[in-house]
Amino acid sequence: MRVLLTESQLTDGVERLAAEIDAHYGDRPLTVIAIMTGSLVLFADLIRRLSMPQRVGVIRASSYRGGIKSGELTVDSQMMIDVTGRDVLLVDDIFDTGKTLDRISGMMTDFGAASVKTGVLLHKNTDHVVDLRPDFVAFEIPDEFVVGYGLDYLDMYRNLPYLAVLSPDEIAQTAADAAS
């Protein structure tokens, strides 16, 4: 495993992200929505650093289905809270193709949100397939498959306190372990 961002670099990044979001919204109440499951760790760290009054909710998106390449996107909004007339901030772990945040931003508008912005820990340097760009970004990273700090491969590695790149051997071993 090759470490891309250490625990203390991640902490600094989340602090920067929170400061940017605080500067943008000031004391206005904010409805902060975690896009599960990848944003789990970031979300817990981020919301405790934001200063405004907050409503907190979750929505679930899934597009990987066991692989490391993006596939069909499904969104489960059963646990969503009411966002009618609210300023909404969507929080996700990583912006890759942008399909997830683009789709969910549209859903928030359909649900009646007054405004919708997006914040991510990581922004991958790839060819995005949507016009949307994240409003708040902590780190730009190269186009590699990363795990840790909430991001998984086959539901493993979310608990790592750092962000790492798996080698092809580690990917194969994890897949073999999952199948056995």
- Partners of residue 59 on adjacent β-strands: 35
Number of helices (H), then strands (E), in the chain: 4, 9
Active-site residue, from 45, 87, 93, 96: 96
Whole-number Å distance between alpha carbons of 155 and 110: 31
Strand residues in the chain grouped as ranges (E): 2-5, 30-36, 54-62, 74-76, 87-95, 115-124, 136-141, 146-147, 163-165
Question: Is residue 131 flagged as an active site residue?
Answer: no
When asked if residue 98 is in the footprint of ligand 5GP (CB under 6 A), the reply is: yes
87 binds, among Mg ion, ligand 5GP, none (CB under 5 to 8 A by kind): none
**For residue 4, what are its two tokens?**
């891309």
Interface pick for ligand 5GP out of 146, 160, 163, 166 (rule CB under 6 A): 146
When asked if residue 96 is in the footprint of ligand 5GP (CB under 6 A), the reply is: yes
When asked if residue 86 is in the footprint of ligand 5GP (CB under 6 A), the reply is: no
Interface pick for Mg ion out of 87, 96, 102, 152 (rule CB under 5 A): 152
When asked if residue 38 is in the footprint of Mg ion (CB under 5 A), the reply is: yes
* Residue 54, CA distances (Å) to 31, 50, 89, 115, 116 in order: 6, 9, 10, 15, 15
119 binds, among Mg ion, ligand 5GP, none (CB under 5 to 8 A by kind): none
Least distance CB 179 / Mg ion (angstroms): 17
**For residue 49, what are its two tokens?**
């650093």
Residues marked active site are found at 96
Interface positions with ligand 5GP (CB under 6 A): 38, 63-64, 70, 92-100, 145-147, 151-153
